[in-house]
Chains A and B, each alone.
Chain A
Amino acid sequence: MGRPMPPMLDLTALSEHPLMQRLTSARAIERREARGQLKSGIAALDLLLQGGWPRGAYSELSGARSSGRTAVIMATLGQALADGEAAALIDVGGGLDAESLRAHPLPSLLWIRCQPEQALAAAALVLDAGGFGLAVLDAGDSRLRMGDATALRLKRMTARQNTTLLLSSSWRLPGVHGQAAVALSSVRPSFEKRPGRVRGLLTGLQTRAELQRIEGGKRPAHGSTLLSLERR
């Protein structure tokens, strides 16, 4: 009489187990820890990104007008500069607001105002210089076109320089797969209540941040979070 055989491990069933949503391969953890992450300056978003924007890679931030992209960018830039990182903003159209700078000056920020067709070349120059912890390409309203070759080149440059490149545009770039992708969508604005149709001052707006992709990690069970933008 031999010992009874242990039950066979049912891999198919395991892959559908809810626990698998929380597991990450050891190789992915190792890769992520080697490069680290760059905090966004918004605790809720960092939680969603499982630590922050991945370093040595590019990530995507998409959202329509008034979805809070500029606020997320400014918070990430502010956090990076506060941590002593060199940071650059490639700003298509030059839409940076002076009022925001009065509240939080960014004297160490390298600001490059450019046309849409110059943006990727400017980003490549910044990445090639090395030493930048964060480079943000904010395409504003314009449509950013990036071919596979450019995406691959940017991917290699960010990896070599260990720079976080954040591509911000109204739509997700087709065919481009950044290490992380967050989509923002505005929920509702809030105005001071006043009688009649005309409202009082705009006090803020709410936006939803949804994690659409994260490489080397698992999408959390709740893949979105609500952010509040307060008017200064």
Chain B
Amino acid sequence: MSQRIACAHAPQLGLQAVLRRDPELWQARNAPAVLASSKTDRARVVHLTTAARRMGIRPGLTVAQARSLASTQGEALRVLVQAEADTNAAQAALQDLGLAFAPRIDTEAERVFFEVGDLGALYPNESAIMEAISRRALQLGLAVRIGLASHKGLARLATRAGPRTSLSATQNVAASQLAGLSIHVLLQLSGELDEAFVERLSRWGIRTLGQLARLPEAEVSLRLGPAGTTAHRLASGNGEEPFMPRPPADAIVEATELDYAIETLEQLAFVLSGLIDSAIARLSCRGLAYDSLTLRLSRDPRGFDVREVPLGAPCRQTSTLLELLRLDLARRPPDAGVTGAELLMLPARVRPAQLDFLRPPGPAPERMAATLAKLQALVGVENVGAPAAPDDHREEQIAVVPWKNAVQAGPPPASPDAATLPGSIRRYRPPQPLEVLMGQGGPTALRGERLVARVMVASGPFRASGAWWQDEAYHRDYWDVHASDGAIYRLHQNRQNGEWFLDGYYD
């Protein structure tokens, strides 16, 4: 199978990065807009939309000049400000686009390369592959031009030929496909192919790649140096260039910088929702879920507010994650306005479940992960898990450990006979304060928030003490009492201060 390299080029990535962050801007991406380094009139235009270009605006003009050109044509011009965080996230998203189709990618600014030669089994032809790449890019909020060729250099050149171009694997055929293209497509393809080089070719009367390819390579190299050799080879359909795979970033980072500080949780939730959507779209490219989540908020005027949101299991649902973040923010609101947000997710695989022939199937792992996250969002992270007995003699202590979705069958608890079962105590956590009337033989009456009763039978005291080497030392006298309401209560008196507490009832 011949090698086929795809190149996805996201032109004006800085502008796309800002547009993808805001759904409203993304919808209006065909309107006149420019991207500048700042909002001041003297700032330079870096990128611009096609509509703005039609108005005569070019990169390098000042914002004031661009506004003037727009106003003379009676059009409104939107000025967007470049944000490094957005650009980095968009560049990372472009890498994830490559990882959605191939395990290895090669990257450069605004471009990602990946091998698609073995995708023939999944797609009927190369047009379908390019269509799929384009569709996936739009899901990530990126508009890309796609080139397919047998070499990396040619794939890069193919992106200049049209929105979706496939060049033949045969060198001569590829050269003939390129022959009609203007030599200006070579501009900036590599460092040496600059404006001066293209101008020089134009002065020689070379207008197309076909004309360049017909010149003898040795003579072009002699007169134009390495740039000439590179250009001639590309024009001849030979773009051999090493494909150097790069490992994907471990974490998914989505960030945004805000124009002004926001104070309310509703506004912040809206911003976070966009970040989460982008991050989840990127995770789905890799077929992964998120395992851990860190949110870093930039505080106004300086400083950061960093929060880690624990998750029960890998999950990939936006609503669940947003709810967890919303709860965390509601529990501990930021103490200052927020001027930026960065979301860092660690990807993890959703573990597949191995079913057992003889046991009932348990919950599906991915669905259960989402359920755990929803439960945590509902009742709090610390209240969902598996119960465990801690190494502590205080009766009310209990631990919650992470729940594992692996049911292990075993022998049932032994029961002495058909109608006998081990009793248990239902605890009040924390123990409830209680007023106790003491008689000669122990408690005689109880009054508390949950009960008012006479004591019919009292059993005790059973003394317990511990942790005397710590601040939370305890010295208690426990009693079991059969109260007039029919219940058997467990209560204790703190021997340090004489206070009584209701621990629970036998049930």
Q: Does B246 contact A (CB under 8 A)?
A: no
Name, among B371, B395, B406, the residue most crowded by chain A CB atoms within 10 Å (CB to CB).
Answer: B371
Q: Report A42 CB to chain B, min CB distance, Å.
A: 5
Q: Which of A199-232 contact B (CB under 8 A)?
A: 199-202, 204-205, 225-232
B386 near A229 with CB under 8 A, answer no
Contacts of A79 on B, CB cut-off 8 Å? 412-413
Q: Does B409 contact A (CB under 8 A)?
A: yes
Q: How many B residues, CB 8 Å from partner? A: 74
A106 near B386 with CB under 8 A, answer yes
- Contact A113-B363, Cβ < 8 Å, known A66-B486, A108-B406, A131-B368: no
A106 to B504 Cα, complex, angstroms: 21
The stretch among B58-66, B144-152, B159-167, B416-424 that forms the contact with chain A is B416-424
| CB closest residue in chain B, given A110 | B403
- Residue in contact with B420 in the complex, picked from A64, A69, A227, CB distance below 8 Å: A227
Contacts of B389 on A, CB cut-off 8 Å? 98-99, 101-102, 105
- Residue in contact with B368 in the complex, picked from A47, A129, A229, A230, CB distance below 8 Å: A129
| CB closest residue in chain B, given A111 | B387
Q: Report B456 CB to chain A, min CB distance, Å.
A: 9
> Residue-by-residue, is B356-381 near A (CB-CB < 8 Å gives 1, otherwise 0)?
10111111100110110011001100
B415 near A41 with CB under 8 A, answer yes
Name, among B358, B398, B442, the residue most crowded by chain A CB atoms within 10 Å (CB to CB).
Answer: B398
| CB closest residue in chain A, given B356 | A84
Contacts of B482 on A, CB cut-off 8 Å? 189, 191
| CB closest residue in chain B, given A162 | B360
Q: Report A40 CB to chain B, min CB distance, Å.
A: 9
Q: Does B109 contact A (CB under 8 A)?
A: no
A100 to B387 Cα, complex, angstroms: 11
B506 near A205 with CB under 8 A, answer yes
Size range of the chain A interface in the assembly: 35 or more
Q: Does B487 contact A (CB under 8 A)?
A: yes
Q: Does B425 contact A (CB under 8 A)?
A: yes
Contacts of B407 on A, CB cut-off 8 Å? 81, 84-86, 108
> Residue-by-residue, is B446-487 near A (CB-CB < 8 Å gives 1, otherwise 0)?
000010000001111000000000000000000010100111
9 additional contacts (CB under 8 A) given A98-B399, A106-B386, A125-B374: A66-B506, A82-B411, A99-B395, A99-B425, A107-B408, A126-B371, A131-B364, A186-B487, A189-B506
Q: Could you show 20 A-B contacts with beta carbons less than 8 Å apart?
A: A41-B413, A43-B419, A44-B418, A65-B485, A66-B486, A83-B412, A84-B356, A84-B408, A85-B407, A86-B405, A93-B428, A94-B429, A97-B425, A98-B398, A107-B388, A112-B375, A114-B383, A129-B367, A132-B362, A227-B419
